[in-house]
Amino acid sequence: MLVSTLSPPATVVALALLRITGQPSLERLQQTLADGQSAAARVIDETLAALAPQIADFDVNLALEFNWSPVVKSVMSAVRVVEQVDNPKVGVLFDTAHYYVTPSKFEHLNADTVRWFKHVHLNDMADKPGDLCDCNADRVLPGEGVLDIPRIIRRKSLSFSVISKGTVPPAAQSASAQ
């Protein structure tokens, strides 16, 4: 697969993976990935582990997003990577659009996985099978598509604040009042 045949975001990720792994082509990288615990996965683990201490003094986290990478394709593969890193500054970016178009399943949203979520993108998806969707072009506002957003939010172990433009979450309101 030539990099030029990929979408712009996928091209950026592909080029970064080639640089990180030292692989000469995506074909070679895909072959490497096919061999069990790949060199690319180890490099991603090691890179995140090396970056985490560098941000320890800052109010930021590293959030690994699944979908664009040939290595990190689902909630479970993203969680596996951040579990290996095992640093409170490193977690998963959970995007409902990526959840829909990847092998991720509702059952994967449990206490063992969502505890790693550092950031959430909440979208709905057009009425198409996930494998036929364009992860970006087929996004629609929550409630206008086929995802059961309320079910995802109600998931007993899934807890996060939804911040809309112009609103302040209750925790921030309490902090600013003190």
Whether 125 and 146 have beta carbons less than 8 Å apart is answered as yes
Select 3-169's CATH number: 3.20.20.150, 2.60.40.1180, 3.90.10.10, 3.90.660.10: 3.20.20.150
> Residue 35: its pLDDT value, please?
60
3-state secondary structure at position 2: coil
Strand locations in 20-154 (E): 62-65, 90-95, 117-121, 124-125, 139-140
pTM over 0.75: no
What's the token pair of residue 99? 């959840």
**pLDDT tens digit string along 92-146?**
999 999 999 999 999 999 889 989 999 888 899 999 998 899 888 999 999 999 9
Strand partners, 62: 90
- Domain boundaries in the chain? 3-169
Phi, psi of 20, deg, nearest 5: -65, -45
**pLDDT tens digit string along 36-56?**
446 777 888 889 999 999 999
Whether 75 and 69 have beta carbons less than 8 Å apart is answered as no
Residue 160, pLDDT above cutoff 60? no
